[in-house]
A and B are shown apart, each in its own frame.
Chain A
Amino acid sequence: MDPTLKIVIVDENPIRAAILEDGLHEAGFTQVVRIAETANLLARVYALDPEVILIDLENPSRDVLEQMFQVSRVVKRPIAMFVDSSDSASIQASVDAGVSAYIVDGLKKERMKHILDLCISRFNAFSRLQGELDKTKTQLEERKVIDRAKGILMKAKDLTEEQAYALMRKTAMNENKKIAEIAQSIVMASDLLK
């Protein structure tokens, strides 16, 4: 690996950018700069003069980087998008992962492939983490609602905790709904009747 390769990461998500930066450091790249603010993006990229730019696809400023392809007086050196027609699997994988890469013309494909693969795996790892976090959050919220609904039922119908839960489960099965949805209805109805 070439530690002198200068890589810029443009990502407004600081956690994902940090995960990617760590990955690049581990792979031996020491010159990695993160840009979170996209004001004056082009000027900042030119000032850093990187060989590789990685940008997340949810970033509207991707169009700003496209200006680097243009022959214009501010361009210092030509930049090409890595994912070209000869490598459609890479394009698909990177777009699926949500990242795009731009490189200085002439940089070897194999070297770039390594960086992009790393990028794709880190972006995917981040989405998995994000997905798990969202799932955990939802589960926690559902648990809270179910507990509240259980309490409401226990009080209103004079049931034990087990009976209240069994009633919600039975209703959910009959209605073909999730227990959390039944619990939500109970909580809402109870709030309305207050």
Chain B
Amino acid sequence: MSERLRIGFIPLCDAAATIIAADRGFFADEGLDVELIREVSWSNVRDKLNIGIFDAAHLIAPVAIASSLGLGHVKVPIIAPVALGINGNAITVSPALHRALSDEAGAGVSDPLKSAQALARLVAKRKAKGEEAFTFGMTFPFSTHNYHLRYWMAAGGVDPDEDVRLVVLPPPYMVDSLTNKQVDGFCVGAPWNSVAVDKGVGHILHFMSEIFASAGEKVLGLRQTWANENADTAARLIRAHHKAGLFTDDPANREEVCAILSVPSRIGVPAEVLRRTFTGRLKVSPDGAMRESSRYLWIGKNGAARPNPVHAAWLYAQMVRWRQAPLSPALLAEAKAVYRPDLYDAASGTTQQTIQGEPADGIGAFAGPAFDDKDLAKYLAAWR
């Protein structure tokens, strides 16, 4: 008799490990009978996980931390024993903003520091003329997308709260909003950036991997109480994700992975668009220009599925930086404790790998001080 579980997800490429585990038999191998439920909003995923309608969820990492710390919502401790993706986001801007940034920065526009400084100059010009501020879309107040956009523009001298408008948009509405000129740009996960480029309404300005070498993205979220009471089931869930993650990132399985994910009840975009994401070779401009990165999105390779508490600390630091949370050593410890590499290691039989060329501070940001998860006060003070 296999165990029935319900897992919620949002149709994005970094739900791959969960979807592949369900549709390629990795859950079944562990004796788990998993029903995947496609959701429409992060609020729904969070609430349904919190109240027990879902046993586990594809969750945006800052939501797992915010829920555990009781920020912005009900406090429900969540643990993240699997990381579902490293990187995968991109910043896309309208053709008009891309042209203006290119005019300011010249060929340097593909350098995130130069593009951010160019944005700062455009902002100043708009202010001087009394024109309306630029508007950028992101997916949720407690989202990597919110923090990634802010990090990038602040490095160039733009105050994300005063100089531009940041608005929450559901990912499926991003492209339409760019088309209708309701936003000038957005930060979102795959495949929505590619969809905007294909429609001719957007230019991918930066892959997130150009801004951070290693940015923690989604996690598999479990209620802490559930995980404690169902330790064996949790271990099987983790093991299935570990195997599915490796399977997803193996180039030999790419066609099969993209075919499984492209089904309407899963991610529901053409396999060809998904393939670009997983190979990290993306069309970045409507004229067909391509850009490639070996770090665009990692699901299971190079230890990506092992949750790294430094990523949790970095996300908490962003919450403090942007005044969503107070700074306290207790909250920092709680945020780090959300990530559970110990459970991952125990279930998957792996240990932490040392990988050549990975950033020393665990993040590898393009600008600003090195991250220090032991001394957030000093790290944050370096920004003022």
Contacts and interface: CB of A to CB of B under 8 A. Distances in A.
Interface of A: 38-40, 42, 57-67, 69-73, 81, 83-85, 88, 91-92, 95, 100
B46 to A, nearest CB: 9
Contacts of A38: 173
Interface in B68-112: 72-76
A95 B167 CA distance: 25
15 contacts: A39-B180, A59-B40, A62-B40, A62-B44, A63-B41, A63-B43, A63-B140, A64-B169, A69-B72, A70-B141, A70-B324, A72-B161, A73-B162, A85-B74, A95-B51
Nearest to A42: B167
Contacts of B48: 95
A146 B84 CA distance: 49
B363 to A, nearest CB: 24
Nearest to B162: A73
Nearest to B43: A62
A71 B47 contact: no
Given A59-B41, A70-B141, A92-B51, 4 more contacts: A60-B172, A63-B41, A66-B43, A83-B47
B251 to A, nearest CB: 33
Contacts of A65: 43
B323 A58 contact: no
B53 interface: yes
B10 to A, nearest CB: 10
Contacts of A83: 47, 74
Interface residues of B, number: 29
B214 to A, nearest CB: 26
B42 interface: yes
Contacts of A60: 40-41, 170, 172-173
Contacts of A91: 47, 51
B225 to A, nearest CB: 13
Given A62-B44, A63-B170, A67-B168, A85 B141 contact: no
A69 B40 contact: no
Given A60-B172, A63-B139, A66-B72, A88 B51 contact: yes
Contacts of A59: 40-41
Of B47, B74, B161, B168, most buried by chain A (CB within 10 Å of CB) is: B168
A66 B168 contact: yes
Interface of B: 40-44, 47-48, 51, 53, 72-76, 139-141, 161-162, 167-170, 172-173, 180, 182, 323-324
Nearest to B141: A70
Contact of A63 (B76, B168, B323, B324): B168
A42 B141 CA distance: 13
A67 B51 contact: no
Contacts of B41: 57, 59-63
B44 A67 contact: no
A58 B40 CA distance: 6
Which of A61, A65, A100 has the most chain B CB within a 10 Å cutoff? A61
A73 B161 contact: yes
Nearest to A88: B51
A88 to B, nearest CB: 7
A84 B51 CA distance: 11
Given A60-B41, A63-B42, A67-B167, A84 B74 contact: yes
A66 B140 contact: yes
Contacts of B323: 71
A69 B44 contact: no
B117 to A, nearest CB: 24
A126 B114 CA distance: 54
A16 B139 CA distance: 27
